Chains A and B, each alone.
Chain A
Amino acid sequence: MGKLRRTMMYVPGNNPAMLTDAGIYGADSLMFDLEDSVALNQKDSARLLVYQMIKNNNYAQEVVVRINSLESDLGATDIEAMVRAGVDVIRLPKTETAEDVKKVENIIESVEKKIGIEIGHTKIMAAIEGPLGVINAYDIATASKRLIGIAIGAEDFVTSMKTKRSKSGVELLAARSQLVLAARAANIAALDTVFSNIDDSDGFKEEVKLIKSLGFDGKSVINPRQINLVHEIYKPTDAEIEDAKQIVYTIKEAEAKGSGVISLNGQMIDKPIVERAKRVLELSGLSEEVM
């Protein structure tokens, strides 16, 4: 089950105003970006800014930092800075192979050792943005124990596929499906890409409904307005909540009595059903109350 990641708010790393305010909008996670939203000649400055922000501000949410690719010197320095700052997750852009993930892991581990924090404290997220990455999705998803999720980056992907984004999203179908499959098989999170037209809320809602059906855990958002829309769509219906409550109460009672096989309304309640019920309660914010 794990952590809720319905929304990951994307914040440009060289913008103090946005970095300071990022936490107030209610996203499940925050992603501070050192990569594409930061001009080349500002990368050094953005890195120090994000470092100081993370180190000195207590963000209530999970903090993810998208580093620069390891192909340049920037990536390794980004990792060192962010691990030292105490970041929760390092997000690697344009991941193509399991090897890419392992390289990141090695650097993270050496920094954790150097500064004396718990080895394994810093997690990794891999953004897949090209066809090779999609093909290697499962290998990537299982490349490291630190890997907590994989995400799809549509803009670059669609360009490499020599096509464009459309309303139906058909050009991303294979990639999205492959990604969710890999994530589920590896038991990690699957996150969808950014929807850049902040004025098209209908189009946005359609896309969120689509990815929810496909099984994604959540989506990257670039604007506070998008956060509530996602949380609404990911919210279970009242009927679903009632059913979930019933299932969980049944389990609790059965456990108290020491019963073996459990059934409700003539149906066997096995592990997948329980998991799903717990998930529903989690999404509605009722986990504590019921469980």
Chain B
Amino acid sequence: MQKLFESDVKGRQALEIFLESFDLSLDQDIEKTYVKKSSDGKIIATGSIAKNVLKSIAVDKHYQGSSLINEMVSYLMEECYQMGETHLFIYTKPESYKAFEFLGFKKITETNRVVLMENKINGFQDFLKNIKDKELTSPSAGIVLNANPFTKGHYYLVKRASEENPWVHVFVVWENQSTFSNVERYNLVSKGLKDLKNVSIHKGLNYIISAATFPSYFISGKDEVIKEQTKLDLKLFGDKIAPSLGINKRYVGKEPFNNTTAKYNETMKKVLPDYGIEVIEIERKKIEDQIISASTVRRLIYEGDLEKLKCLVPKSTFEYLKSPASQGVINKIKKDYNEKKLV
């Protein structure tokens, strides 16, 4: 087994060609790729890892009877475990998912082009069980927030839903790929929504806008890829998560800035009604004619403009940003901004 390095241009080209014959490609979020070659140097098998997701796995059909797929999956799993990732997912095509069942993976959901599987036998079931352990009031509304950090805009969205529905379920995106950590974001969301009595807050974990269901949210990719992933994420939400909580409405703020999120929202409006879920898109709250966005808030944090900041975030978030506990994330924001990375 050989690791395929970023700088190995020829190798990557050969791999792209190999993958194309399976109608696969290397997604942008892939971190590691491995190939196995025959004695005359031809690629006969490949597999890649993107955080805790195994994808772009393919074996040359002349070798398909052999245990190459077993070898590849074992190897990838071992790599993931070494990196501390033990809850693993597989992205594969509907035609090939059976092979992975024998390797201990269980199907969670599928679209007509992708099957999502995980290695924890009751992973998804346990997730559904845990979010349901509070009293169920149905029907209810669902909102998915990244909240990086929690702003008045977020509050406004949730408040609106809580006024229009008996109950609201807020899911916090759990992937740790944002400036504020998932724990920080969750805490700010909790504190910020404390006064709303009909709201429960859940961790999205691996099942809502995650590296497994929608990696393009974090690292953008080609449009068709975004579309496929969006369909998968929404299917899991509409087909399994929403029904188990009695959610029949999903609230979302209009997205003027981010292309991927805008596309996601567009697809959501088309797809969720098929699951009996109404999508309610709300205009973003404005303060002094400026849309409140988390990215604006981060910029203000960088600039240290406390006055403006106070207008855009609720007291709970503001208090946190003044406290010593937020020193870490504030330094991170400053660093990111100085390096001119998109904050």
Q: Are B39 and A199 in contact (CB under 8 A)?
A: yes
Q: Which residue of A lies closest to B39 (CB)?
A: A199
Q: Are B39 and A41 in contact (CB under 8 A)?
A: no
Chain A residues near B39: list those with CB within 8 A.
199
Query: A190 CA to B82 CA in the complex, in Å?
Result: 41
Query: A41 CA to B81 CA in the complex, in Å?
Result: 11
Chain B residues near A41: list those with CB within 8 A.
78, 82
Q: Which residue of B lies closest to A199 (CB)?
A: B39
Interface size class of B (residues with CB under 8 A): under 10
Contact with B along A34-76 (1 / 0, CB 8 A): 0000000110000000000000000000000000000000000
Query: A41 CA to B75 CA in the complex, in Å?
Result: 11
Query: A199 CA to B40 CA in the complex, in Å?
Result: 12
Chain A residues near B78: list those with CB within 8 A.
41-42
Query: A41 CA to B78 CA in the complex, in Å?
Result: 9
From 165 to 203 in chain A, residues with beta carbon under 8 angstroms from any chain B beta carbon are 199
Q: Which residue of A lies closest to B75 (CB)?
A: A39
Chain B residues near A199: list those with CB within 8 A.
39
Q: Report B201 CB to chain A, min CB distance, Å.
A: 39
Query: A42 CA to B82 CA in the complex, in Å?
Result: 11
Q: Report A216 CB to chain B, min CB distance, Å.
A: 27
Contact with A along B138-182 (1 / 0, CB 8 A): 000000000000000000000000000000000000000000000
Contact with A along B66-81 (1 / 0, CB 8 A): 0000000000001000
Chain A residues near B82: list those with CB within 8 A.
41
Chain B residues near A42: list those with CB within 8 A.
78
Q: Report B39 CB to chain A, min CB distance, Å.
A: 7
Query: A42 CA to B75 CA in the complex, in Å?
Result: 11
Q: Report B180 CB to chain A, min CB distance, Å.
A: 34
Q: Report B187 CB to chain A, min CB distance, Å.
A: 36
Query: A41 CA to B74 CA in the complex, in Å?
Result: 13
Q: Report A46 CB to chain B, min CB distance, Å.
A: 13
Query: A42 CA to B79 CA in the complex, in Å?
Result: 11
Q: Report A51 CB to chain B, min CB distance, Å.
A: 20
Q: Report B65 CB to chain A, min CB distance, Å.
A: 15
Query: A42 CA to B74 CA in the complex, in Å?
Result: 12
Q: Report B213 CB to chain A, min CB distance, Å.
A: 30
Q: Report A201 CB to chain B, min CB distance, Å.
A: 15
From 46 to 99 in chain B, residues with beta carbon under 8 angstroms from any chain A beta carbon are 78, 82
Q: Report A126 CB to chain B, min CB distance, Å.
A: 30
Q: Report B25 CB to chain A, min CB distance, Å.
A: 28
Q: Which residue of A lies closest to B78 (CB)?
A: A41
From 7 to 38 in chain B, residues with beta carbon under 8 angstroms from any chain A beta carbon are none
Query: A41 CA to B80 CA in the complex, in Å?
Result: 12
From 183 to 241 in chain A, residues with beta carbon under 8 angstroms from any chain B beta carbon are 199
Query: A199 CA to B82 CA in the complex, in Å?
Result: 36
Q: Report B73 CB to chain A, min CB distance, Å.
A: 16
Q: Report A39 CB to chain B, min CB distance, Å.
A: 9
Query: A199 CA to B38 CA in the complex, in Å?
Result: 13
Q: Which residue of B lies closest to A41 (CB)?
A: B82
Query: A41 CA to B79 CA in the complex, in Å?
Result: 9
Query: A41 CA to B82 CA in the complex, in Å?
Result: 8
Query: A134 CA to B39 CA in the complex, in Å?
Result: 31
Query: A153 CA to B82 CA in the complex, in Å?
Result: 32
The 4 lowest CB-CB distance pairs between A and B, nearest first, are A41-B82, A41-B78, A199-B39, A42-B78
Interface residues of A (CB under 8 A from B): 41-42, 199
4 contacts between A and B (CB under 8 A): A41-B78, A41-B82, A42-B78, A199-B39
